Structure 1
Amino acid sequence: MHSFSPHILISYWPLFLVTGTVLFNEYFIYFIKISFTCNWLSTIVHFSDSDRIHVFFIADTHILGVKNGHWFDKLRREWQMYRSYHSAVHLLSPDAVFFLGDLMDEGQWGDWSTFAKYADRFDSLFRSSLSKPEVHMLAGNHDLGFHYAISPFRVQWFEERFNRSIVDTVSIKGHHFVLITSMALHRDGCRLCHEAEVELENLAKDRFQPFRRPILLQHFPLFRLNDDDCLRDDDFDYEDPARNELYRPGWEALSEASTQFLIQKFEPRAVFNGHTHRGCKKRWVQPVEFWEYTVNSFSWRNGDRPTFLLATISEHDVGFYFSITFGYYSWTTLN
């Protein structure tokens, strides 16, 4: 048997250094970062309700496609999201995960086989054979197209592939979530908008049992002119040059009419969305009080602040705690 020679270490130290550096930066760093900077709000603020649940909210993964995605960029971004997501799920064990639209970058183009290929790739990154957490997706404009470009066939593909209607509900331990396709909220009388409006009207009339104000999930933010109304906290990126750009109703945010329709019909406890690729916390006081949170993109390709949001939901409170990969963190309680 040959004894270990220090000459081997001396001779191959560059290889050991490179291997160790790659392993640390591409694998272990995710566990270290999440372990030290992420936690459920229930471990900081007292949430004693037996029906408490823990939820991840993730937006704008933008799985790259065949048209605009370079293979190395695709490999790099998908690995970052895959490793971040599965490390977080392993360490934090959420009850459910909601993806808030734009699962794909080019889902609005191509035929069924191309769409199915993108959907399979999304599943390979974020699905699991385990029963927990339960994973729910809703559509964004990059999955179906904007309002005037949506094909009925593409809507059907998304419904069949992800088991998600244009308006849907999910209930977990008595907490009710309403999942809404934002592009169907133009309220212009089109077939898609009419179907969505009828379904929303019926949901609002039926109420939820046991009754609790629902949490609205959608891709577009509620109506706002720009991000001037956002809370100036650690999640507010003062260096973003596009912060003051005006939002076009129906494109960057819902119209004012659609927003008031949702608020008046459902009186939500909270609203979570994505789409803008920047975080925003906004307090609404009229006609009911609630917090809206716009989740930053989970993909580093859309900025250097990739984010996922941790929410603790109980009968009396909705609290969230966001994590920015390789960034900072903070928490807020939503009453």
Structure 2
Amino acid sequence: MQGVGSVCLSLRYYRPIQFLVLILAFVFYCEFLHYFLVLLWCQWPVLDVKNEDSSVPSGYEPPLKVMILADTHLLGPRKGHWFDKLRREWQMYRAFQSSLAIHSPEAVFVLGDVLDEGMWESGAEFQKDISRFQRMFKTSHNVPQHVLVGNHDIGFHYMMSEEKHKRFEKAFDTPSAKLLRIRNNIFVLVNSMTMEGDSCKLCSEAVNLLKDISWQLKCSQGAIKKMDLPQICETIETFPYTKPILLQHFPMYRLSDSNCSLPDAAPDSEKDIPFRLRIDCLTEEATNQLFDWINPRLVIDGHTHHGCYRVHDNGVPEWTVASFNWRNKRNPTFLLAVFSNNNFAVSQCFLPNEFTVISIYIFGGVFLVFTLLCSRHWFGRRVRSSKSL
């Protein structure tokens, strides 16, 4: 009898431990392993050799692998429940760090709306939230990260101020317009809110910077002939020219998302809603100016929280990247892009669908409850049988 009692006592402790192990296993899968398994399906795109230009001079660098995301919208002190804030930030942290580990990009671009409440925050609140972003989206020292400004970071044109812009520029080295060269690929970064077309101080500053960049690109390309202002290029720094990639927060001018057919495009109920100029996209005039000044081979932007791919009348493709935050999108995405000096390829990567994760948790909960009930039934039968002895 004493031996049976000791066996029952050991079972009493064994079952709760087994139950706890199962709970931890489900949590580990949903919060760690699931991210890796989903992101493993995403692969770097392959450059189409048919598009390679054999006339490009030798000595150019190998293709550059870039990760591009948008609209992280870290909640500030005013909006959202604390659990919602905690949950979304963990999801983004886990997804970003898992993707870095799996794909090893050589550069990362974040296309604005880093914060959700940056346009309202005090200096201390802004610094605190920027520090959170930098911890969550930290990259290794050999992977440069370039962050663009969005309307939630400093406000739309009517809310934007020099003070808000300068503190964001100081945090991320992001002026109103910037030319960036990585492995002989040229990127032009633009503050979309300055493309208003008026004479505001930041708008004039952006236009002057873009004009300077335009001259630098044209001189580097050799597009300015000696008979056309030969002295203009003598004082401008030139470099090996490749067609630029234009990065910004707002999409280029378009009427709506009606022609967007990607899997993460806007739902059908929203696709035909007309875009508001300077709020949802750039004006047609600003779009044409950027095409004229930059002459890009590709445009990549965010802001709408939905994915979109379109080709402009001039043949330039445009990718709009969906929000990286599950608060804005149940199936967030980002881009993996490969750039050679005269070619590019882009692939879209999906993060774990929140519905799938919730379903796994529900299934796990039902399974654990079933296991617990079965173990109690089995344990009760063993105790009754031991008493009969």
- For normalisation by structure 1, the TM-score amounts to 0.90
Question: Are the structure 2 counterparts of residues 50 and 212 from structure 1 closer, same or farther at C-alpha, using a change threshold of 3 Å?
Answer: closer
Matched, 1:24 2:24: no
Deviations 1:85-118 (A, max 9, x none): 0000011000100000000000001211111111
Match of 1:229 among 259, 262, 272: 259
Q: 1:165 — aligned with what?
A: 175
**Equivalent position SS for 1:310:** strand
CA distance in 1, matches of 2:144, 2:61: 19
CA distance in 2, matches of 1:263, 1:172: 21
Q: 1:322 — aligned with what?
A: 348
Q: 1:197 — aligned with what?
A: 207
CA distance in 2, matches of 1:22, 1:270: 41
Match of 2:320 among 282, 294, 318: 294
Matched, 1:82 2:93: yes
How far has the Cα of 1:227 moved from its partner? 1.0
**Equivalent position SS for 1:272:** strand
**8 Å CA contact retained: 1:102, 1:275:** yes
Question: Are the structure 2 counterparts of residues 106 and 236 from structure 1 closer, same or farther at C-alpha, using a change threshold of 3 Å?
Answer: closer
How many residue pairs get matched? 316
Please, which runs of 5 or more residues in structure 2 have no aligned partner? Answer: 1-9, 53-59, 221-238, 354-389
How far has the Cα of 1:236 moved from its partner? 3.3
Q: 1:177 — aligned with what?
A: 187
Moved more, 174-183 or 308-317: 308-317
**8 Å CA contact retained: 2:61, 2:184:** no
Deviations 1:216-239 (A, max 9, x none): 000000000101232x243435x3
CA distance in 1, matches of 2:341, 2:119: 38
**8 Å CA contact retained: 1:296, 1:305:** no
Q: 1:255 — aligned with what?
A: 283
CA distance in 1, matches of 2:11, 2:307: 52
Q: 1:308 — aligned with what?
A: 334
**8 Å CA contact retained: 1:180, 1:217:** yes
- The structure whose Rg is larger is 2
**8 Å CA contact retained: 2:148, 2:174:** yes
Please, which runs of 5 or more residues in structure 1 have no aligned partner? Answer: 328-335
Matched, 1:54 2:65: yes
Q: 1:95 — aligned with what?
A: 106
Q: 2:165 — aligned with what?
A: 155
How far has the Cα of 1:191 moved from its partner? 1.0
**Equivalent position SS for 1:323:** strand
C-alpha RMSD over aligned residues: 1.8
Matched, 1:145 2:132: no
Q: 2:299 — aligned with what?
A: 271
- For normalisation by structure 2, the TM-score amounts to 0.78
CA distance in 1, matches of 2:130, 2:241: 35
CA distance in 1, matches of 2:321, 2:277: 19
In terms of fraction of residues, the more strand-rich structure is 1
In terms of fraction of residues, the more helix-rich structure is 2
Match of 1:112 among 101, 119, 123: 123
Question: Are the structure 2 counterparts of residues 275 and 87 from structure 1 closer, same or farther at C-alpha, using a change threshold of 3 Å?
Answer: same
